[in-house]
Amino acid sequence: MTAPLSPSRPSDAAPSGDLPVVRLLPKANARAIRHGFPWVYANELVTDRRTRKLDPGTLALLEDNERQPMGLVSVNPNSKIIARVLDRDPAAVIDQRWFEGHIVRALDLRARMFDAPFYRLIHAEADGLPGVVIDRFGDTCVVQPNAAWAEALLEPLCAALIAVTGVTHVLKNAAGRTRALEGLDDVNAVLAGSAPTGPVPVQMNGAIYLADLTGGQKTGIFYDQRPNHAFAASLSRGARVLDVFAHVGGFSLAALAAGAQSALAVDGSAPALELAQGGAEAAGLADRFQTRQGDAFDVLTDLRAEGAEFDVVICDPPAFAPARPALEAGLRAYERIARLAAPLVAENGILGLCSCSHAADLSQFRVASVRGIGRAGRKGVLLHTGFAGPDHPQLPQLAESGYLKSLFFRL
């Protein structure tokens, strides 16, 4: 796994002089790239016949339109993001040692913040590995190589991960729309060690969550919501809690651990709710916990008809606006969620609304949420705006890295 890679493949660790050269068009924003923007779009690069023939994941030297070197990039002629900046040093060699340097820096940050090795270890561009996500679950890491260059360099990446962290099991998760946009397959794999035989328990915010690392959503758990779970839990002592799009019980189990009177978790996935139930049982919270499977919009409507009322209602849906073409429809969906959820909140109760949509910025999401609350005949004040936890750092130059928004209203 640690053997040198041949310079005849796109996954080379070849000297920079042996690499192809790609060049920006005059209209490209070279200044933004020099100041840290990590992507080159297809309409910003000279795409002659030679460039179009490069294999996805090929390493190349990037030059501006005046032929001045800008750094080392990976190229995927089949992607709208045709080049990703890997290193500002054109002489850099992308090998196991290079990966180790990035992972050491990322691990040092997480080790300062967390007492136990359960966190997002690598958060793509913000940790210097564009398109790469790695979540850690004790002695197991789940890798999502969402860009062609990372797929091509899985061997040295995996070797570096083991060398730095000491984990014994590394799994590849190939789910997600981003891989399809890069022309990659959706085949999961075991890269080192073995896959767990059952769900992995994860302790966060006083609760126990069961993460399915091989068949669950994403890598098995959503670490990004950890601080928002904690904030909602701080408002839930003695409360009746409704957790919609609950997955494995993120908000509801944290609320119960903080002393909530009861919690109802709603999700469309029966396996996810089974994991949530298992987490409640593992933490001794099952007597105050219930689940309800069904379409969230339908369940919210049914609960209203049943006259149900809750002190804290949290809605954490999937990305309704994952890309620009879906923005308007996505904002309407967020508004509808707010409109259906608000009537279920008791007077002076809490409504938490979340969005993980890249295309919908905070302002747009807030407007849609407030409009939905108003159309439900309610009014409220915004108590808190939450974002992803610090193990999901943002790259300031890349707005997409700040994808998660959570709004907490008192109605």
Q: Are 313 and 344 in contact (CB under 8 A)?
A: yes
Nearest Cα to 126, choosing from 112, 109, 148? 109
Phi-psi region of 292 (alpha: psi -120 to 50; beta: other; left: phi over 0): beta
Q: Are 380 and 373 in contact (CB under 8 A)?
A: yes
Distance CA 54, CA 57 (A): 8
Catalytic residue status for 356: yes
| Burial classification of residue 128, based on how many CB atoms lie within 10 Å of its CB (0-12 exposed, 13-18 middle, 19 or more buried) | buried
239 Cβ contact list (under 8 Å, min separation 6): 255, 260, 261, 310, 311, 312, 349, 350
> What does R_g of the chain's alpha carbons equal in angstroms?
23
Q: Are 56 and 79 in contact (CB under 8 A)?
A: yes
Residue 375 has a CB neighbour count (10 Å cut-off) of 13
Phi-psi region of 128 (alpha: psi -120 to 50; beta: other; left: phi over 0): left
Q: What single DSSP character describes residue 345?
A: E
Distance CA 355, CA 328 (A): 14
Distance CA 346, CA 29 (A): 51
Q: Which candidate in 141, 158, 354, 356 is catalytic?
A: 356
Give the bridge partners for 136, in sequence order.
Answer: 119, 141
Q: Are 343 and 377 in contact (CB under 8 A)?
A: yes
Beta strand pairing call for 262-267 and 381-386:
unpaired
Distance CA 102, CA 52 (A): 30
Distance CA 248, CA 222 (A): 9
In this structure, the chain runs to a length of 411
Q: Are 65 and 26 in contact (CB under 8 A)?
A: yes
Q: What single DSSP character describes residue 389?
A: -
Structure tokens at 193: 């060690």
Distance CA 251, CA 245 (A): 10
Active site residues: 356
